[in-house]
Every structure is written in C-alpha cells, then in structure tokens.
Chains A and B, each alone.
Chain A
C-alpha cells in the first residue's frame, strides 16, 4: 500500500492550499518543497484533511520523514534532524 520504502528520497509538495480556502493541513509550512528521506511507514489513517470537514476520509499512508535541520531553520549543526509525520499525498519522489 505504501508508495515509498524506508530510505527513499522524497520532496514535500510545494503547495499552499491555505491560500485557496478553508483547510486543515498537517504538513508544516517550513517543509513545503523541502527534500527529505523516508524513515519508516507508520500505517494508513483516515485523511485528517477530510475528517476536519466531516467529509468521507479515505485512508492515506503516513510516514516519518527526516529532514536535515540547518537548511530548514538555519539553526543547529550538520547531522541535526527534523523528523515529521507526513501523509503520502504530500510527497513526491525526489
């Protein structure tokens, strides 16, 4: 079911649905467009972006994705990570 395997390089979609109307998004602004690495799959969960609007919410694969911290926040040292839970529909192969 999961499209990405641990170790796969991915890019977070550089998309801003919040500019197009009311939304509930669990992908933080600071990783949109950033490249990271799949660490593990966490299972599939009903899409919170739909649940938030009481719409039918099909299951979506959820991943732990690791990013290098310094390029994101201009803080920390090489080797520092940011680990974020991101749903599959926000990811594309890098």
Chain B
C-alpha cells in the first residue's frame, strides 16, 4: 500500500477510534492523530526523518516520538514485548470482540498442555520463547502462531526434537 493509502487508512481507523474516546483537549487529539499516522507510516519513510529508524530499534524510536507525543514514554531499555503504557499502543484501538478459535489454535493449545503434563516444557518457557521472537515477527504473528514458534524453538533447543526431524515433518505437510 502506498504511503498516501496508509495515511487515509490511518485516518479512517482513527476516526472510528475517536468516536468512542474523549480527548482531553484538541491539542491532545491533534498530537494523537499525528502519532497514529506516524505509526502507519513507519517504514514508509516519508513523514519525517525521525521515523526512518528501523523496527529493531523500538526504544530509540519511542524516544524520538516522545517529542511529538501526548503521553511521554519512559526512556528505559524496555524489551519490545513489554508494551504496557507505551503511547503507541494506547493510541491503537483494541479489538475486544469475541472471536472463535481455529482448529490450529486449539491444536497448538493442546500441544502445549501435553508438553507441560509430560514435563517437557513449562508455561514460563513458552512465555520466554514468545518474548524472544524478533520484534518484526512478534508483531506480525497471531497469538497462537507465536506459541507454535516458541514451542518449536524450545523443543529444538532442549533436544526434544532435532532440526532434521522438524524439517522432515514439515516436508510431509
């Protein structure tokens, strides 16, 4: 999608979001809209040189955004998955509509439970593995795809399965 299209989409999305939000004043709203557009343009490199930092450097990008931000972010070395209170996510509308689990989702969940019962993997290892997914993949993957990636990484690392076995199994799918 073109940068222009991204801006239009961001504008529509933000309009929907703001229907349900109560800005404290127009200045806050204006800055929030600019912030949201900046996120949509991330990678498009057209709005401002400040947004040309790559996605792996989220901390630096947050600090740059702070100058133009209704809610200043802490200048701390947080991990990318440690997102609580970070302004860019506050500005994103949250989809709270119930959604059905797919067969894939259920299968991954069942697999994790079986691995836990067999003592092969704790839920804490699952979370550690999810947090270790590189930032770009982390944001792209769905909830249970993060899980299967963590499960796979963990089982290979612990020697429960080998890379060769994994490759062979995937070749049969």
Contacts and interface: CB of A to CB of B under 8 A. Distances in A.
SS class, residues of chain A in contact with chain B: loop
B49 interface: no
Interface residues of B, number: 19
A25 B79 CA distance: 10
Contact of B77 (A18, A22, A53, A54): A18
Given A19-B77, A74-B72, A30 B84 contact: yes
Contacts, number: 50
Interface of B: 71-72, 74, 76-79, 82, 84-85, 90, 122, 124-125, 127-128, 131-132, 158
A75 B76 CA distance: 19
A30 B74 contact: yes
Nearest to A51: B124
A19 B7 CA distance: 35
Contacts of B71: 73-75
Which size bracket describes the interface of A in this complex? 10 to 19
A57 B128 CA distance: 15
Nearest to A47: B124
19 contacts: A16-B76, A18-B77, A18-B82, A22-B132, A24-B124, A24-B127, A25-B79, A29-B74, A29-B76, A29-B78, A29-B82, A30-B74, A53-B125, A54-B125, A54-B158, A73-B71, A73-B85, A74-B72, A75-B90
